[in-house]
Amino acid sequence: MEHYAGIDVSLESASICVVDASGRVVREAKVASDPEALIVWFGGLEVSVTRIGLEAGPLSQWLYAGMRKAGLSVELLETRHVRNAFKTMPVKTDRTDARGIAQLMRLGWFRSVHCKSLPAQELRAILTARKLVQTKRHDLEMSIRGILRGFGLKVGQTTPRSFEARVRELIDGHATLLVVADALLSARAVLAEQLGKLQKRLVSLARQDTRARLLMSTPGVGVVVALTYAAIPHGSEARRPQAHISG
């Protein structure tokens, strides 16, 4: 008899439910949200599992990759599709979600999504970090402008290079504003330095990526846009989401 499993993942633990072909619950457990813990648990089952369902989420790609590498037949499920299927549940808990996912796998009512490769995840992490640092630097500059404006001091139009000099020009002779500006400008300088390092890393990656180099040959397309597109799975690497219907 075939068996199917559903896993509901949270930060610390994962709830697992295994059902047979008739929908009867065979085993339930809660283990650590770690690939090794899940691999060991499924390895200790007395029955083989035909399909394992894992809802897409922050930890899911890491768990999915580890379980796939170990030879487990796991599917990464589209979150919206799973949530729509669970709308009729009167009570939602990790345990009931795991049971629901197991039933979806048994019936074939699920939609698989692509799991990004490790290099693609690493590239997305660098792009995300760059955007975060850039945003924080901008927030600091706007805060400095706002503080000085309260004293009738207007920074006006500046460039990234001329911003600090303009601020120091305006606060000359203001002891309190000097203390405030020193702290904020020092933080801005650190962010600018780290932003530059991340940008250099992205430039290096773009030079090594054929797709990015081709995209950057288009007027107006720079490193960030090219790598953002390159980080999206295309062609044979991507797997189009599709519904699986048993029968």
Query: Distance of alpha carbon 45 from its chain centroid, rounded?
Result: 31
Whole-number CA gyration radius for the chain: 26
How far is Cα 92 from Cα 101, in angstroms, rounded to an integer? Answer: 12
- Is the distance from CB of 129 to CB of 152 less than 8 angstroms? no
- Name the amino acid, one letter, at 124: R
User: Residue 246 has what pLDDT?
Assistant: 39
How far is Cα 231 from Cα 140, in angstroms, rounded to an integer? Answer: 29
- Which of the following CATH numbers is that of domain 3-116+236-244: 3.40.50.620, 3.40.30.10, 3.90.110.10, 3.30.420.40? 3.30.420.40
How far is Cα 40 from Cα 28, in angstroms, rounded to an integer? Answer: 15
User: Residue 143 has what pLDDT?
Assistant: 97
pLDDT band at residue 88 under the 50/70/90 scheme: low
Task: Tokens 């500006």: give the residue.
Answer: 181
* End-to-end CA gap in the chain: 15
User: Residue 233 has what pLDDT?
Assistant: 60
240 pLDDT higher than 50: no
The pLDDT tens digits of the residues spanning 34-86 come to: 999 999 999 999 899 999 999 888 888 899 999 999 999 999 998 777 877 77
Q: What's the whole-number average pLDDT of the chain?
A: 88
How far is Cα 217 from Cα 89, in angstroms, rounded to an integer? Answer: 52
Q: What is the pTM of this model?
A: 0.70
User: Tokens at residue 209, please?
Assistant: 């990526």
pLDDT band at residue 121 under the 50/70/90 scheme: confident
232 pLDDT higher than 90: no
The pLDDT tens digits of the residues spanning 137-164 come to: 999 999 999 999 999 999 999 999 999 9
User: Could you tell me where in the chain the CATH 3.30.420.40 domains are found?
Assistant: 3-116+236-244
